[in-house]
């Protein structure tokens, strides 16, 4: 393929309610919609692909304006370039981008266009194996932000009634509030599985206190994501040893070397793959395969993303032959989603729609 043009425009979708985590707060998505046009150098046909670059400043360190500037500049270096395969694409994008989020959005858009040219789904370009045509289906959790404990209990009960049996509970800002939140959840949804996520805010002993509270409330603990700071691998290892549930490294694993360090220190038993964090679907898939070889469980998650980004993440999960934990819910937290296609959602069940590319298009505005 030859890259003809890369463009980006703001993707700013308001959330139903503020998304508050221990490290920050979001009211509106701060992303960029990337559109990539390529030419099939064999036939001369034009193909267009879409990708989402999603900034979450508290986590990604970059904001929407940074993405738009970086992608705008990148067009100058990318337009007119011929790409023969994965190693060409990697070298080209590595030479152009400093931040993983802009790179991820552009790589996702190029993979979408390239897959359309090849009349393949994106997961095939990521190395998926054929599965005999069985629909690829996963069950996602849904995320509860940090908020007034009684309100979080109400949200939990609403999601449970909508078919979600796994709730990701954001914790780590105030231990007393976290305890009250868990009490409200236990009272309203005693059978639910909770997945704690502290986004790196806790000391190991405080993380263990929260685990004891979950146990004393007779809630099922599905996993504990990033209890301690990204570089506190000792604390993470302490929790891993004693948690009795998977400990998931998220902020601790950006690169494949980070993964090796986490495994070496026994600092987690699972890793959360995110296309935005690893600089694109290709590297996310590579880290996922390495994690599996090393015996880790795999979660696939996202920043606060629309259906476009979540569909790309489902292709990532499909390319790995399925994953252990799925956290692809953020489209449900938006007031509206400007995209359609990619997958079908019924309650917590997501079914990938097989087709060319990532399969997502811009929805007609009402
Ligand atoms: Mg996380």
DSSP collapsed to 3 states, 37-84: EEECCCCCCEEEEEEEEEECHHHHCCCHHHHHHHHHHHHHHHCCCECC
Distance CA 62, CA 313 (A): 20
The structure tokens listed for 196 are 């704690």
Give distance in angstroms: CA of 271 to centre of ligand 1: 10
Name the residues around ion ligand 1, CB cutoff 5 A.
197, 225, 250
Q: Which CATH superfamily is domain 2-119 in?
A: Enolase-like, N-terminal domain (3.30.390.10)
pLDDT at 265: 98
Spans in the chain with pLDDT lower than 50: 366
Give distance in angstroms: CA of 21 to centre of ligand 1: 9
Element (H, E) at 214: helix 204-216
Give distance in angstroms: CA of 365 to centre of ligand 1: 32
Counting residues of the chain whose pLDDT is more than 70, the rounded percentage is 99
The structure tokens listed for 222 are 């599905």
Asked if 71 and 106 touch (Cβ cutoff 8 Å), the reply is yes
Kindly list the domain boundaries of the chain, sorted by start residue: 2-119, 137-362
Give distance in angstroms: CA of 170 to centre of ligand 1: 9
Angle between helices 86-96 and 100-118 in degrees, nearest 10: 150
pLDDT at 252: 98
User: How confident is the model over 62-91, as pLDDT tens digits?
Assistant: 999 999 999 999 999 999 999 999 999 999
DSSP class of 333: G
DSSP 237-287: HHHHHH-SS-EEESTT-SSHHHHHHHHHTT--SEEEE-HHHHTSHHHHHHH
pLDDT at 23: 84
**CATH code, residues 137-362:** 3.20.20.120
Give distance in angstroms: CA of 57 to centre of ligand 1: 14
User: How confident is the model over 183-215, as pLDDT tens digits?
Assistant: 999 999 999 999 999 999 999 999 999 999 999
pLDDT at 221: 98
Query: For residue 177, which of 200, 150, 201, 211 has the smallest C-alpha distance?
Result: 150
In the β-sheet with 349-352, what is the strand arrangement from edge to edge? 137-139, 349-352, 343-346
Give distance in angstroms: CA of 362 to centre of ligand 1: 28
pLDDT at 365: 62
The structure tokens listed for 364 are 């007609």
Q: Is the pTM of this model over 0.95?
A: yes
Give distance in angstroms: CA of 311 to centre of ligand 1: 18
User: How confident is the model over 213-244, as pLDDT tens digits?
Assistant: 999 999 999 999 999 999 999 999 999 999 99
């Amino acid at each position: 393929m030859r890259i003809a043009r890369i463009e980006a425009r703001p993707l700013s979708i308001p959330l139903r309610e503020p998304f508050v985590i221990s490290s920050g707060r979001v009211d509106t998505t701060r992303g960029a919609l990337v559109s990539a046009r390529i030419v099939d150098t064999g036939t001369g046909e034009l193909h267009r692909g879409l990708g989402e670059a999603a900034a979450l400043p508290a986590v990604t360190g970059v904001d929407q304006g940074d993405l738009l500037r970086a992608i705008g500049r990148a067009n100058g270096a990318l337009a007119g370039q011929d790409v023969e395969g994965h190693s060409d694409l990697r070298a080209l994008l590595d030479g152009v981008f400093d931040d993983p989020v802009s790179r991820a959005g552009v790589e996702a858009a190029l993979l979408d266009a390239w897959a359309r040219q090849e009349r393949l789904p994106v997961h095939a370009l990521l190395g998926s194996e054929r599965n005999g045509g069985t629909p690829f289906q996963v069950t996602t959790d849904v995320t509860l932000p940090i908020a007034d404990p009684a309100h979080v209990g109400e949200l939990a009960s609403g999601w449970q009634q909508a078919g979600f049996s796994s709730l990701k509970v954001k914790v780590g800002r105030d231990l007393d509030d976290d305890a009250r939140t868990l009490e409200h959840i236990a009272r309203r949804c005693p059978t639910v599985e909770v997945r704690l996520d502290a986004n790196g805010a806790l000391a190991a002993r405080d993380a263990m206190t929260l685990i004891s509270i979950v146990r004393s409330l007779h809630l099922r603990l599905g996993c504990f994501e990033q209890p301690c700071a990204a570089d506190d691998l000792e604390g993470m290892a302490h929790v891993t040893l004693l948690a009795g549930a998977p400990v998931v490294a998220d902020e601790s694993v950006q690169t494949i070397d980070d993964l090796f360090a986490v495994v070496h220190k026994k600092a987690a038993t699972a890793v959360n793959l995110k296309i935005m964090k690893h600089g694109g679907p290709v590297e996310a898939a590579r880290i996922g395969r390495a994690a599996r070889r090393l015996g880790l469980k795999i979660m696939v998650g996202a920043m606060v993303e629309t259906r476009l980004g979540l569909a790309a993440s489902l292709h990532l999960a499909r390319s790995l032959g399925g994953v252990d934990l799925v956290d692809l819910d953020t489209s449900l937290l938006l007031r509206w989603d400007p995209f359609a296609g990619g997958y079908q959602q019924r309650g917590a069940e997501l079914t990938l729609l097989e087709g060319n590319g990532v399969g997502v298009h811009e929805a007609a505005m009402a």
